[in-house]
Structure 1
Amino acid sequence: MCKTPASPAFQPVSLDGRTLHVPRRSAHVPAETWAVTYNGPIPDHWQKTAHAKGFNILARVRDRYHLALECRVCGTVTVHKAFTLRTAQPACAGCAEIRRRSAAQDAGLVYLGRDPEDRHYGRYRIPECGHEVRRQFEIIERAAAGKTAIRCETCLQAREENEARRQGWTRLGPDPLGNPNYRLYRHDACGHEQRIAVTNMSWGQCDCATCGESWTAKPSTIYLARITLPRAGRTVLKLGYSANPEKRFRHQLGLPEDAQVTFLRLLAMPTGHAACAAEKRAHAELGRRFPQAVIPPKLYAGQIKVVSEIYTPWLLPEIERVLTRIARDIASPDGARAA
């Protein structure tokens, strides 16, 4: 088959009763224009070049620049410019379709055709459920090679809706914060809307942040503390959350007796769920923007019983800005749901 480079889609038109595939970027040209042959000679060296590249030149079409090339493997007729024939390997629309159908079959799918909006995508049907999906050709090739699997979004959504229903929730849609592992749900008992990890919902490991009885539904606090470790000669910042920050530092962090703790900010949160979500986002942002400010655990091992959430003091202004934004978001009407 002809070697197909990254090429535009081909739109079929008719030429003397045969289907003529025209590049999609020329779709604005009226179809009848392509059916008009150009009365000009076809040089012998053009034919030789075409033969060497797997084609026969049937005619010159539309104008002096375009050729109707017949693939010597599959017989498909494709339009290309004479310049393309002379300087590159023309793409055969028919061979490309054959390869796509073959890849789809190897991936367990039925190929329905190219996507009309994007030349890199195709439309497929999943035989098991009959639903149509849109996928990149590269993904289908990987699936055909056994490197990935094709998932039906329609069936996935139905399964997630059933899982939520069993747990007393209603699936509302994707995560408003864009995390692919989360969805937005509404608690059937009280109407509270909440982000929950899909896997937690499937196992029933979810508690309503409004009417639940666990720590997630009770008020909490995000704290920012300065910790001075005299024996280590080091001062660090810790950002975290707790229903009782003072108790956490006194009994849970294993600090040395001579450690000095100063709370720089205590931000009241409506629920433990909101505090946990906001704190996780804060750490992700700080770690991404200021990786050099994250202190390696080995530098405070044996003195603070955590393996993360510890920063250098110079990051204080940035952490303060993040906490101010969290306070503003929580105060907004949609703050609780976004958390």
Structure 2
Amino acid sequence: MSMRVLVIGGAGFVGRRVVAQLQAAGDFAITSASRRPRSMPGVQALSLDARDSDALRTVLRDHDAVVNCVTGSGPDILANARSMAQVLPGSACRRLVHMSSMAAFGELDGDIDDDAPLGDGGGWYAQAKRDAELQLSALAGPDLGVALLRPGCVHGPGSHLWVERVGDWLRQRRLGDLGVAGDGWSNLVHVDDVAKAAVRALQVALPADAPLRANLVAPDSPRWNDYFTALAIALGSTPVRRIHPRQLQLDAYLAAVPLRVWERLAPRLGMGPSLAPPALPPSLLKLFAQHRRLRSTNATAVLGLQWTSFEDGVADSARWYRSSRQLAP
């Protein structure tokens, strides 16, 4: 009998790829649940607010496993985790795959293994991801296998920030070779590898007394300068400019505020936000310089993940970007 899998957040960027990889793997009966569901051939789509424990309890009666791809605001992430923690122990589900984030490590720097203690700081998103992990990791036991997946910066087709926005910034010559400011590790992972890891976490044996924690970062993930250069070349945005630190500071700290205001106001005024360039948040400057590097030992050794190469990932991302922006091949 096929494993009945509920993908919560199945209409989102990562969730759609998880559903597609489950279909490709076969032997799964798939339900894609979201507050705004999308129909997909061969997949049951339903409307679900996973913050509602009663609604979640009803849906889980018909499923053996759940892949939780919920994202959103901090309160949404925490409400979803509380609902899951309340409902799963009494359900028919025997496996939980929870999509966390490398943000849960907060301000930790240097090399970070799968089982490294979570850090502090990092803002509201990092705190919400940490709190969600703590609630859901406590569910692991003989009756419920739990896998906590922590993707790095997810690129590939459909990536709004790490392909679409970065591509725009490269073409606008607002990003390029950042020098020391771009010497941090990118911790990139292709979206298909994230989805494959979720599928593998449904298939392999999990620890009986603790969650499996797996960082998801490609072993050949480069420094940010290398990524910006490779993507710029793939997009034909050459020569790649050397960006002066002062330009970055002005862009992120002076221009970012009015640009973000415009992004919010433009739809209300019936105007496209694309009339102005996208804001470059100050938080990204810190990330670009951060020497934090996640190690993905469990994803390779336990989940048996075979990684998309950096070169193939960049080519895949560039094809999608060109198509989405209607650029010549």
TM-score, normalised to structure 2, is 0.22
TM-score, normalised to structure 1, is 0.22
Rg comparison, structure with higher value: 1
Larger relative contact order (Cα-Cα within 8 Å, sequence gap ≥ 6): 2
Higher-helix-fraction structure: 2
